[in-house]
Amino acid sequence: MMEKIWLSSPHMGGTEQSYVNEAFAENWIAPLGPNVNGFEQDIQSFSGTAHAAALSSGTGAIHIALDILGVGEGDVVLVQSFTFCASVNPIEYLGATPVFIDSEKDSWNMCPDALEEALNHFKDAGQLDKVKAILPVHLYGMPAKMDAIMALADAFSIPVVEDAAESLGATLGGKHTGTFGTFGVYSFNGNKIITTSGGGALVSASDDNIKLARKLATQARDNAPHYQHSMIGYNYRMSNICAGIGRGQMEVLPKRIEQRRSNFNRYLRLFEELGWAVEYQNERENTYANRWLSAFYFEPKIFGLNFREELRLYLETLNIESRPLWKPMHLQPVYEHCQYFGKWHCAEKVFDFGLCLPSGSNLSEEEWQRIESAIVEFAKSK
């Protein structure tokens, strides 16, 4: 069997280990230290956010953001359905209820029309005060339509938490995803565009918000010589070892974005040669995607109903990993009882007929040739 080609695997730049060695040399083997501070500064200067807290995961960052916004028992969060479960689970941790919003065709992210419909629904029912946050996602590194989403959020006075876990470095009008809402969330899990092995960050323009986030992430310890607590906190701080990996990864992040974008374009060229009219997330005017994963949609009216699955299984026989897109949350057994807004079932269609192809920034030319000849062979069999 040929060696496995992964969908997206960690890609070290080379300096990560020296930051980790420094931590060992100075015995900063703790959930705080110079690498944590340095990594937070790196995130701030890269994304242009005023304040950042390095945390143990992106999921933890979403949990803390919603907690600070006062999400609790009986409340509602309007969240993009087409996403990974980590966008939604923290809503349940807090005893609140997710209400799912469909995606739109351009970006595959939160549809502003469906969001407006949901907001009006709660307003007309006299329950707008229950809606504590709006949570859009920049899926696969494509910016959501933040102008329209922020305009609605402002009109209805509801704060926004941006799940930018997949979109580090993606921008809209030159402004980084994660910096539009009251809070933004990044993830450094092993499969993301850069990794700390596991980790996340919460960013905000508000110093108070991030100070409170740091406190909540450290068991909400009060400023006293003994252990004193006047709130319930969490243990969500990032380790100084992981932050060392992060500092090294930040040095190569611009390169990683270029590499992922070039992967995506290489697939587009191949599809053009094959005459495949494949659809994908559109990079609209003034948007810049990081193309974390190369994700494509095979319209069944053109390709047939089984094309995506046949392609996936064919690649699997050659030990090439590919994966269907995120299964929408309103279709998940654990969330199917929840309310859903959307008329076009965009997320469902993209889930049914979409595929993520190998997208690592460390794909070798040899691996690329295996992928390309596999796709060409598959095309011949059609």
Ligand X SMILES: *Cc1c(COP(=O)(O)O)cnc(C)c1O
- Give the footprint of ligand X on this chain (CB under 6 A): 57-59, 83-84, 86-87, 137, 163, 165-166, 187, 189, 200
For residue 121, give Cα distances in angstroms to 79, 124, 306: 15, 5, 37
Report in angstroms how near the CB of residue 215 gets to ligand X at its nearest: 20
List phi, psi (to 5°) of 229.
-135, 125
Closer residue to ligand X (CB): 198 or 300 = 198
| CB proximity list for 160: less than 8 A, separation 6 or greater | 133, 134, 135, 136, 149, 150, 153, 180, 181, 182, 183
Q: How far is the CB of 83 from ligand X (least distance, A)?
A: 5
- The CB-nearest residue to ligand X is 58
Of 83 and 375, which CB lies nearer to ligand X in the complex structure?
83
> Rounded distance, CA 103 to CA 330, Å?
12
Select 8 or 35, whichever has its Cβ closest to ligand X. Answer: 8
Q: How far is CA 138 from CA 33, 43, 324, in A?
A: 31, 18, 17
CB of 87 to ligand X, least distance (A): 5
Nearer to ligand X, 68 or 135 (CB): 135
Q: Output the smallest distance, CB 291 to ligand X, in A.
A: 14
Whether the Cβ atoms of residue 79 and residue 91 lie closer than 8 Å to each other = yes
- What stretch of H or E contains 148? helix 146-155
Distances (CA, A) of 340 to 77, 103, 121, 162, 329: 12, 11, 11, 19, 10
Helix (H) or strand (E) holding 186: strand 183-187
- Beta strand segments in 229-301, E: 287-288, 294-297
Q: Least distance from C-beta 226 to ligand X, angstroms?
A: 32
Residue 246 beta carbon to ligand X: minimum distance, rounded to whole angstroms: 12
Nearer to ligand X, 104 or 163 (CB): 163
- Residue 129 CB, shortest distance to ligand X, in Å, is 27
CB of 238 to ligand X, least distance (A): 11
Work out how close the CB of 203 gets to ligand X at its nearest, in angstroms, rounded to a whole number. Answer: 14
> Among residues 238 and 357, whose Cβ is nearest to ligand X?
238
Q: Which is nearer to ligand X, 35 or 87 (CB)?
A: 87
Question: In this complex, which beta carbon is closest to ligand X, that of residue 168 or of residue 375?
Answer: 168
Give the β-pairing of 183-187 and 200-204: antiparallel
Pairing of strands 97-101, 76-80: parallel
Q: Could you please report the per-residue DSSP string of 11-65? A: ---SSHHHHHHHHHHTT--SS-SHHHHHHHHHHHHHHT-SEEEEES-HHHHHHHH
Looking at the Cβ atoms of 187 and 239, the one nearer to ligand X is 187
Q: How far apart are CA 53 and CA 31, in angstroms?
A: 12
Q: How wide is the angle at C-alpha 266 spanned by C-alphas 300 and 288, nearest 5°?
A: 90
